[in-house]
A and B are shown apart, each in its own frame.
Chain A
Amino acid sequence: MRSYFPVARATYMIGLVYRFGFLFGIVGNLVYLGVAYYLWKSIYRYSDVIRGLTFNETFIYVALGSAIFILLKTYADWIIHYEIREGAIAMYLTKPIDYQIYALFANFGALLMNLSAITVPTALVMLFVFKVNFVFGPGLFLFPISLLLAFLISFSIDYFVGLIGFYSESVWGLSITKEIIVTVFSGALIPLQFFPDGIQRVLYWLPFQAIYHTPLMMLTRPNQGLDVFLAMILVQLLWAGLLFWLARLFYNQAIKVLRIAGG
């Protein structure tokens, strides 16, 4: 395990090279924050509580959702597909490393970079510019654990889609479809509470809600009972284990069809 930490460190350093890019990332997120603020302000002009959420709670959910979205979006599908297509994956096969763990740590480095460059500044802006009140409670302390598990789930899904590159020429369509399904059904754009009841019930049974909805609920409603949160984390743990394992199985199958043109 220890030999993988330098991988995470390396991707973090690569991120530092592109500091200029993060400036635009932060600006983009701030604009989104403003747009979301006005949008939800106009939605909440009829009543103070909609679907059990106050404006403050919804805004924390949506605004931090965008900041966490940047954190958990791994691009693993694009990178893996590129490495398969260009044959670079052969380099990993000749080394005594586990490709899945390697990719996981590479993405973890990017996560740390985005955390320091975009998520933390966004949270600070929310605190000092929009003057959002964060409530204290056990949820806040469990949030980091929940976020890590969410990262594991998000990575496993992306990694799985990337592996389809062993079979297909281009992964654009699949990646985009996956991205839309994940962003809409996970609550990254609108709190799941807003969905019609029937759809909501289905969404709670899918793994996507464990990526954004679970950690975001810990921030918007941190003062619920500990048992509520532990149940949520257990669900995340199950999804993370299951998806990580499924992706592993798929890799072991897919690697057999790999053919790389010389040159």
Chain B
Amino acid sequence: MQSLADYIRLYFIIEAQYIKARMQYRADFIISSIGMFFSSLATLGVFWVILESVPDLAGWSLMEMIFIYAFYMIAISPMQILFDHAWNIRFHVREGTFLKYYFRPLNMMFYYMSEMFDLKGLTQLLVGIALLVYASNQLNIDWTFLRLALLLITLFSAALVQISIIVAASCAAFWVIDSYPVLGLAWKLREFSPYPMSIFDGAFRFAFTYLIPIGFVAFYPSQLFLRPEEVSPLIYFSPIVGIGLFTITYWIWTKGVNSYTGTGS
């Protein structure tokens, strides 16, 4: 059980069983998907209402905001769908059930995260893709091969940034048991990533670009497609930001897993 291909094969086997089990609760799946649909569009609704009263948001039109928002929805989907189990670390740690993850000849993060596959997150992904197609049609974005490749690379990096922030926050459970407050804060920050970073200045802009780089989740990469002429050179670092951040998160996870001693219950 070492090669990447083995892991991918294993992942499909695990998720197939998981999805079969979840499908017992069909009504729950439908209601949850509807809930996901509305909750993922809430912030866009706010932008829409605001842009009914003013012509643009820091120079960005409604259609451009929809594009940025669609990019954001797609970029956060891997976190939602593949890493949703991060929210439960605090329960496993408190109840002592986390111990079982030490006993398999598998990568622990892989084994732990594979236990959940968030079906309702697919709604968010689909709505995101639909909105991206719609907005880029309206904005007459010409999808050349190069642009499509850039889109995939930036989406991949953005997804890694988002995954890293949430997983790192959830790792707080290894030290303080109840990681909900830290996760809540990370979750709140996530909601600010489709905001035009150009509205911020000073400390906020610095923090959102360099410290907790939520700017790389949607706004900076979207500029590549919306306004390529005024793009900041920062964006070319986005794969490094994504991979670097994930490496740090993986290091935190390893530290946490090794220092966890159980609560004695």
Binding site for B on A (CB under 8 A): 18, 20-25, 27-28, 31-32, 34-35, 38-39, 41-43, 46, 50-51, 168-170, 172-177, 179-181, 183-184, 189-190, 194-196
A197 to B50, CA, bound (A): 13
How many contacts A-B (CB < 8 Å)? 109
Q: Which of A27, A173, A189, A195 contacts B31 (CB 8 A)?
A: A173
Q: Is B141 an interface residue when CB atoms closer than 8 A count as contact?
A: no
Known contacts A24-B181, A38-B200; decide if A181 and B38 are in contact (CB<8 Å).
yes
A148 to B180, CA, bound (A): 27
Residue of A nearest to B37 (CB): A177
B200 touches A180 (CB 8 A): no
**Contact partners of A18 in chain B: CB under 8 A:** 178, 181
B192 touches A46 (CB 8 A): no
**Contact partners of B54 in chain A: CB under 8 A:** 43, 46, 50
Chain A interface: which of B1-9, B148-156, B183-191, B241-249? B183-191
A42 touches B38 (CB 8 A): no
A46 to B185, CA, bound (A): 32
A41 touches B52 (CB 8 A): no
B204 touches A25 (CB 8 A): no
A190 touches B181 (CB 8 A): no
Q: List 8 additional contacts besides A39-B199, A42-B196, A177-B38; criterion CB under 8 Å.
A: A24-B181, A28-B188, A31-B185, A169-B25, A170-B31, A195-B52, A196-B49, A196-B52
14 A–B contacts, CB within 8 A, in A order: A18-B178, A20-B176, A25-B181, A35-B200, A38-B204, A46-B55, A168-B27, A168-B31, A172-B31, A173-B31, A173-B36, A183-B42, A194-B50, A194-B53
- Least Cβ–Cβ distance between A109 and chain B, in angstroms: 18
Residue of A nearest to B29 (CB): A173
A176 to B188, CA, bound (A): 15
Q: Which of A20, A35, A42, A184 contacts B181 (CB 8 A)?
A: A20
**Contact partners of B52 in chain A: CB under 8 A:** 194-196
Q: For the side of the interface on B, what is the size category? A: 35 or more
Known contacts A43-B50, A173-B28, A196-B52; decide if A180 and B195 are in contact (CB<8 Å).
no
A51 to B182, CA, bound (A): 37
Residue of A nearest to B58 (CB): A42
**Contact partners of B42 in chain A: CB under 8 A:** 180, 183-184, 189
**Contact partners of A50 in chain B: CB under 8 A:** 53-54
**Contact partners of A46 in chain B: CB under 8 A:** 54-55
- Least Cβ–Cβ distance between A81 and chain B, in angstroms: 12
Known contacts A168-B28, A170-B25; decide if A184 and B35 are in contact (CB<8 Å).
no
**Contact partners of B32 in chain A: CB under 8 A:** 170, 172-173, 176
**Contact partners of B53 in chain A: CB under 8 A:** 43, 50-51, 194
A42 touches B27 (CB 8 A): no
A172 touches B192 (CB 8 A): no
- Least Cβ–Cβ distance between A204 and chain B, in angstroms: 15
Residue of B nearest to A66 (CB): B188
Residue of A nearest to B51 (CB): A43
Interface centre among B31, B58, B189, B200 (most CB of A within 10 A): B31
- Least Cβ–Cβ distance between A45 and chain B, in angstroms: 8
**Contact partners of A22 in chain B: CB under 8 A:** 181
Q: Is B122 an interface residue when CB atoms closer than 8 A count as contact?
A: no
A32 to B35, CA, bound (A): 24
B31 touches A174 (CB 8 A): yes
Known contacts A23-B181, A177-B34; decide if A38 and B39 are in contact (CB<8 Å).
no
A172 to B38, CA, bound (A): 13
A31 touches B189 (CB 8 A): yes
**Contact partners of A181 in chain B: CB under 8 A:** 38
A256 to B25, CA, bound (A): 23
A174 touches B27 (CB 8 A): no
Q: Is B96 an interface residue when CB atoms closer than 8 A count as contact?
A: no
Interface centre among A22, A24, A168 (most CB of B within 10 A): A24
- Least Cβ–Cβ distance between B234 and chain A, in angstroms: 19
A170 touches B28 (CB 8 A): yes
A177 touches B35 (CB 8 A): yes
Known contacts A31-B189, A43-B50, A46-B55; decide if A24 and B182 are in contact (CB<8 Å).
yes
User: Could you tell me which residues of chain B, from 187 to 223, have a CB within 8 Å of some CB in chain A?
Assistant: 188-189, 192, 195-196, 199-201, 204
Q: Is B46 an interface residue when CB atoms closer than 8 A count as contact?
A: yes
B181 touches A21 (CB 8 A): yes
**Contact partners of A184 in chain B: CB under 8 A:** 42, 45-46
**Contact partners of A21 in chain B: CB under 8 A:** 178, 180-181
- Least Cβ–Cβ distance between B54 and chain A, in angstroms: 5
